[in-house]
Copies of this chain bind each other. A is one copy, B any other.
Amino acid sequence: MSVAKNAGPFSGLLVIDLTHVLNGPFGTTMLSDLGARVVKVEPPGGGDDTREYGPFSQGRSLYFDVVNRGKESIVLDLKDKADREIFVTMVRRADVLAENYRPGVMARLGFAYDDLARINRKLVYASSSGFGQTGPLAMAPAYDTIIQAMSGIMSTTGMPDGPPTRVGTSLSDLLGGLYMFSGIASALYAREKSGRGAHVDIAMFDATLAFLEHGVMEYSATGHSLGRIGNRHPFLAPFDVFECADGHVAICCGNDHLFSQLCIALGRPDLLADTRYFDNTSRLENVDSLKKALEDVLRTRCVSHWLGTIQAAGVPVGPLLNVSEAVQHPQTRARNMLIEAGGLKMSGNPIKISGYPDPAVRPAAPALDEHGARLRDEFAPCFSAAAS
């Protein structure tokens, strides 16, 4: 490994990573980013499926590399006696085991939490799945699109006159991974006090429900669902995305003062005298005509013009950027949020903790079984293989 492993809050910890595809690996990558040693255990016959997924760059799968950077790889057949012994030796010495198989798979291998807690009572064992380890849907297949559909998030995303809309990223996969990481960190802290590990059980479905915000509030207040309201704020106006001559800007007026500053900046002080826009309540009632009035002005000039003018008026405003523009923004560079691993560019680590490095170049994702020989040696069972 040409790039040194960086120090972090989890330095010194050993993580057995049985996760695959996107959800689980996203969570364990955070452990790796924050200093843990993460050993990815892959099945024979090609390893993690995503090694074959595009997009590719320099012959490498970005899909795989992004969520496996900085890990070691060993291929183990968990149904093979000798490989199981190596695995069990790893479990004895590990701090964390993470897996995202469908519920029941680990138990059939004889490696459920209870099985492994008997071998290593300090083990933090994290399971991430679509619907969790319990409940009527525990065994249901769970792809991100299905979880987004069933959680309600799609029903609240989109234009009022348009269809329910998937969030333009695998939100439920990634949220499951981030909550799994959070649960592991919590259980590791608790272990310092109790001396015992625990089973962390995360569901992509639960994770997405926890992110519904206004949707659940509305249900709680009225018993009904909030429909789709496009890009605007449910309770404030104008607080939306608006079209300019060459793109869009987001403008957020949280109070009457900001609204009056905005109208003056746009050369439309007359709107302040219009009873339809007198206060936030009336502006919300007339939100469509207000948007049209503002866009009639905004469409006459470019985004760059309006950003300067509206910012100078002290009104919160920002451009709508595409991904290329966002990741190349000076702020992204200043925060080290576009890093390189194995020569590939990818999103960085958003958890910045003082006293630890946050390198712009991180270790690459491993080739399949890249560290197999060394790991088999390191985790050879105490009795020699010949004697068993």
Contacts and interface: CB of A to CB of B under 8 A. Distances in A.
Interface of A: 8-10, 12, 22, 30, 34, 53-57, 62-63, 66, 113, 131-132, 134-137, 140-143, 145-159, 162-171, 174-175, 178-179, 181-183, 185-190, 192-193, 196, 198-203, 205-207, 209-226, 228-231, 233, 235, 239-241, 243, 248-250, 252, 254, 316-327, 329-332, 334-335, 337-338, 344-356
Nearest to A169: B213
Given A136-B331, A321-B151, A230 B166 contact: yes
Given A62-B221, A134-B335, A154-B231, A198 B354 contact: yes
Describe A's contact surface by its main secondary structure: mixed
Nearest to A193: B12
A249 to B, nearest CB: 8
B132 A153 contact: no
Nearest to A200: B353
Give the interface centre of A137, A211, A220 by most chain B CB atoms within 10 Å: A220
State the oligomeric state as a number of copies: 2
Contacts of A153: 167-169
Contacts of A337: 205-206, 209-210
A39 to B, nearest CB: 20
Contacts of A134: 334-335
A157 B162 contact: no
A323 B200 contact: no
B326 A145 contact: no
A146 B182 contact: no
Nearest to A318: B146
A90 to B, nearest CB: 21
Nearest to A126: B353
Given A145-B252, A200-B353, 6 more contacts: A154-B231, A155-B168, A162-B162, A179-B350, A207-B350, A212-B326
Most buried by B among A169, A189, A240, A323: A323
B174 A62 contact: no
| Residue of A66, A344, A354 with most partner-chain B CB within 10 A | A354
B323 A202 contact: no
Contact of A321 (B62, B149, B210, B322): B149
A202 B205 CA distance: 25
A62 B217 contact: yes
